[in-house]
Amino acid sequence: ADEIEDAQRINLLSAVSASLLLHEDSTGNKQSPSSPLQSFPIGQLYNTIASLSYTGDFRMQTGAEDPNKVKKLVESPGMMNLWENMYSNTLGELQALGLLGIVHARRGSDNSDTDTTNPGVGGGTQLECCFTDVAVRKRLVQNLPPRLRVHSDQIVGAGDSLDSIRQGSLLLRKELANIVAPAAKSQSAKGFFTAGVAKSWKYAVAKFAKGSGK
């Protein structure tokens, strides 16, 4: 049981770390190096995580899959609670390491969220991360599977160069696609980490979807 729990922890940590490293690629935001701390809705992170298993999947590219599938996995009624239950410990672990900040929505007198950013997706909770901080990116890369860590220098990027960081994010997305695409074509994609215990991610997302219908 302990081995299974450790494997799940590593899998979840890898998924969050990869998604954070892809942040520049997925948003196109152009934060200033003088103000590197960037805030974004927690639902945005969950959308990126959900999309990882479909990176390079030819079925998404050809329209064989529902183009709104990823969004539905995160934003359908009841799904956010499942995501939060799955990832709260992982996000807390990264926060304790100083790699991520978590800003919870303030509660009004009627116990409703006063922060309406991306309402309904994460309850207004925001995440904060210094994406241009080389030390942060290096720590996140260390959480990736070995097949991706071989590209650690390129993924981390050079200093606080936004262009270098974007190129690193694009390289990571390309390598993820190289992992997912062959498995998708053989109809055996289980997730973007296809080696060992980490192949369970897409199965976990499927379980989420099934659970939301109960």
Amino acid at 17: S
Task: Tell me the C-alpha distance between 127 and 42, whole Å.
Answer: 6
- pLDDT of 94 strictly over 90: yes
- Which one of 6-15, 87-96, 162-171, 180-189 scores highest in mean pLDDT? 87-96
Q: Output the CA angle 84-39-57, nearest 5 degrees.
A: 60
- On whether the CB atoms of residues 117 and 124 are closer than 8 A, the answer is yes
**pLDDT for the residue numbered 157:** 87
- pLDDT of 181 strictly over 70: no
**pLDDT for the residue numbered 35:** 55
- At 149, the pLDDT band (50, 70, 90 cuts) reads very high
| Cβ contacts of 20 within 8 Å, gap of 6 or more | 45, 100, 129, 131, 140
- pLDDT of 17 strictly over 50: yes
Averaged over 102-122, what is the pLDDT? 52
